[in-house]
Amino acid sequence: MACAVERRAPRTPEELQGAAAQAARELLSRSLLETIASARIGALEAVVALDCEAWPDVLSRNVAEAIRSLHARGAAVDLAAVYEEAQQRGLPISGSEISALSDLSVDHHIGSVESRLQAIERWDRCQRRLRIAEALRDPDLAEEDLRHVIADAGLFAENRCPAPTVNAAVWLATEPTPSERVLDGLLDAGDKGIVVGGPKLRKTYFAVQAGLSLAAGRDFLGWITPKPRRVLIVQLEVKENHFHRRLKRVASALNIEPWKIGDRLHVINGRGAEINFAEITAAAKQHKSEVIIIDPLYKLVQGDENAAVDVKPTLAAFDRLAEETGAAVIYIHHDPKGHAGSRNIRDRGAGTNTLVRDCDLLITLTEHQRSPDMAVVATLSRNYPPKPEMSVRWDSGAFVVDDTPPVVASKSGGAQGVAKASLESFLPDLRAVLNDSAVQKGVAVDRLRQRGLTKDRSLALISLGLESGEICAWDKCYPRAVWVGSGAAIEAKIAAEEALSADDAVSQPVKQEVPKS
C-alpha cells in the first residue's frame, strides 16, 4: 500500500534541479539567519559582500538588505534592529516572521571565549551550507552527484513509508544468511571499522599493510583473511610520491610482488583535492571494491569533529557507501592529545565518541611500554567475541606480531598493563628470560624489568615460579649467589660447580712439612 508523503525524493533530472533550487533557497535563508546570530564576530562581512539579489527568496533578500543598511551605519545588528530597519525602509518583513526566527538570536555582547567559539562554529556550519547550496545550483552537476549532495545535506524531511518489518516467527523457523567474512571473527562485508591510534604509531603504514594483505589474500597480523579481496585505499594526507614509497616499502617487507595482487588494489591520492563521497562511491563501483580504506577520517568531516551534529552526516555517508557498494569500510582516526593508554577502548579517538561507537569494529594502536617501535593492538567487535590484546613490532617496513606481553606505556613511563595483569600471565616471560639455563637471580630480575615489570613484580614473579614448581633455585654459599632456572638447568649448574671444585682440589699442590733439623 502506497504511503502519502509531503515531500518525496526527486527522481527525474528535472525534479532534481527543481529540488536543488528549493534546497538552495532553504539553505541560503537558514545561513543568512544564522549569520545574524553570529554577527558580532565578523560574519557580517560575508553577507555584506553578497549582492542582495543573490538571495533566492523574498525574506532572505529583505533581511540581507536590512543588514547591509545597519552595517553601513555602524549600527548594532540583532533581530529587533533588523525588524525596525525593515519597517523604516518599507521592506515587507512581518513581526511574526521575526518572532519565528527569535530562537536563533544570541546575546551579542559575547564575553566568554567559549561563547565566541560556539558562535564561530555556527558560522562555519553556515558557510558549509552556502557552499552546498552553490553546488546544488550548478546546472552542470551530474545527476548522481546531485543526489549525493542532496542526501548529504539532509534536505528532504519526508514522511516515509513505515520501515520494513520481519515476522520473528519466520526467523525462528529459518537459518540466518551466512556472513561474508573479510577478516575472520572481526569484520564482515558491509561492516564499518575504525582504526584509532596516537601520533607516530604508523597508522598509515598499518592501513597500507592491511590493504596489501587483503588484496593478496594474506593473513593480517594473525587475523585470517579467508580469500583475496578487491581493495580501494583513499589516502587524503600524504603526497603521492611519499605514499608510493610507503606502499613499495611495505610490499617488499611482506614479500608481495605485483602478480600476487593483480588488479585488486587501487589507490585514490586525494591530498590537496576536494574528494567527496560521490567520487569515492563511483571509484569503488568502478573497481568492484570489496574493502574501502579511508585515511584519515578528519579529512572528510565537514565541521568540528567534537560536535556530533557535524559528525553525523559523515557517518551517514559511510553507511551509504557501505550499503551502495557492499564493501567493508575502514577509516583511520587519531587519538586526542594526552595519554591514550589510560582510556577505555570505547572512549578512544579524538572528537565526539559518536565516531568510535558508530562502527562494527574498533582497532586501537597504543604506545608499548617496551619501545617506540612497538604498539599494543586491541580490538572491539560488535558481532564477534573479543580477541586478546597483542603486541606488534615495526620490523624493516612492516608490522609483525611479537610475543612480548601487551604492556601499554603509562603517563609516568611505568607499566600500566603489567600493574593490572595477574602474575600468572607472565610465567611465559619468566621462562623466556631464563631460556632453559641457570642465571643469577639479579640477572633474571634485570631481564624481566626490560620486559616492563617493576623490580618488586619481577621478584614476586620469581617467587611464584618457585612456589608453582616452574623453576628451581640454588643458594650457592661461596661466593654467595642465588641461581634460578629450570630443574634440569639448576642440576647441571650444581654439577658443573662441583666438578670445578673437584678439579681445583686435584690441581691444588699439597704442602709438605719440612723436617726440622
Is residue 161 classed as helix, strand or coil in its secondary structure? coil
- pLDDT, position 1: 39
Enter the CATH code of domain 422-503: 1.10.10.10
Query: Each residue of 104-118: b (16+ CB within 10 Å) or e?
Result: eebebebeeeeeeee
Domain borders along the chain are: 13-153, 189-402, 422-503
Q: pLDDT-derived band of residue 52, with 50, 70 and 90 as boundaries?
A: low
Confidence at residue 325, expressed as pLDDT on a 0 to 100 scale: 93
Give tens-digit pLDDT for 331-383. Answer: 998 877 666 655 666 667 776 777 778 889 999 998 888 788 889 999 989 99
Q: How confident is the model at residue 144 (pLDDT cuts 50, 70, 90)?
A: low
Q: How far is residue 460 CA from its own chain's centroid?
A: 38
CB 313 within 8 A of CB 154: yes
Q: What value does the mean pLDDT take over residues 159-163? A: 56
Query: Which of 1.10.860, 3.30.300, 1.10.10, 3.40.1000 is the CATH number of 13-153?
Result: 1.10.860
For residue 372, give the C-alpha cell: 617506540
First to last CA, the chain: 135
Q: How far is CA 194 from CA 203, 425, 447, in A?
A: 11, 29, 36
Class of residue 62 by CB neighbours under 10 A (exposed 0-12, middle 13-18, buried 19+):
buried
- Cα distance between residue 39 and residue 106, in whole Å: 10
pLDDT band at 480 (very low <50, low <70, confident <90, very high): confident
Evaluate whether 236 touches 299 at the Cβ level (below 8 Å): yes
Q: Which residues pair with 265 in a beta bridge?
A: 231
| DSSP SS3 for 185 | coil
Between CA 36 and CA 18 the distance in angstroms is 28
Across 79-200, the runs of DSSP E, i.e. the strands, are 181-183, 187-188, 192-197
Q: Are 310 and 302 in contact (CB under 8 A)?
A: yes
At the topology level of CATH, where does 189-402 sit? Rossmann fold (3.40.50)
Provide the pLDDT for residue 413. 47
Q: Is residue 129 classed exposed, middle or buried when 0-12, 13-18 and 19+ CB atoms within 10 A define those classes?
A: buried
**Best CA proximity match to 262, nearest among 229, 237, 309, 239:** 229
- Contact, 160 vs 3, CB < 8 A? yes
Residue appearing with cell numbers 547550496 = 133
Q: Which residues contact 353 (CB under 8 A, 6 or more apart)?
A: 346, 347
Kindly report, residue by residue over 250-301, the tens digit of the pLDDT: 999 999 999 999 999 999 999 888 888 889 999 999 999 999 999 988 888 8
Strands ordered across the beta sheet of 398-402: 265-269, 231-235, 291-295, 328-334, 192-197, 361-367, 374-381, 390-395, 398-402
Residue 73 has pLDDT above 90, yes or no: no
Does the pLDDT value for residue 430 go beyond 70? yes
* 431 C-beta neighbours (distance < 10 Å), count: 15
Q: Give the three cell numbers for residue 187.
A: 569484520
Instruction: Check pLDDT > 60 for residue 218.
Output: yes
Q: Which three cell numbers stand for residue 395?
A: 620490523
HSE-up (13 A, CA, CB side) for residue 398? 20
> pLDDT-based confidence at 307, cuts 50/70/90?
confident
Residue, of 440 and 10, whose pLDDT is higher: 440
Can you tell me the distance from the alpha carbon of 86 to that of 378, in angstroms, rounded to the nearest whole number?
A: 61
Give the predicted TM-score (pTM) of the model: 0.56
**R_g of the chain computed on alpha carbons:** 34
Residue type, 370: R
Per mean pLDDT, which range of 156-165, 258-267, 473-482 is the poorest? 156-165
Task: Look at 26-30, 76-80, 179-183, 416-420 and tell me which has the smallest mean pLDDT.
Answer: 416-420
**How many other C-beta atoms lie within 10 A of the C-beta of residue 159?**
10
Candidates 138, 137, 110, 134; CA nearest to 122 is 110
CA nearest to 43, candidates 129, 153, 122: 122
pLDDT band, very low/low/confident/very high, at 162 (cuts 50, 70, 90): low
Rounded to an integer, what distance in angstroms lies between the CA atom of residue 344 and that of residue 347?
5
Sign of torsion over alpha carbons 132, 136, 141, 143: positive
pLDDT at residue 159 is higher than 50:
no
Per-residue confidence (pLDDT) for residue 100, from 0 to 100: 54
Rounded mean pLDDT of 139-167? 60
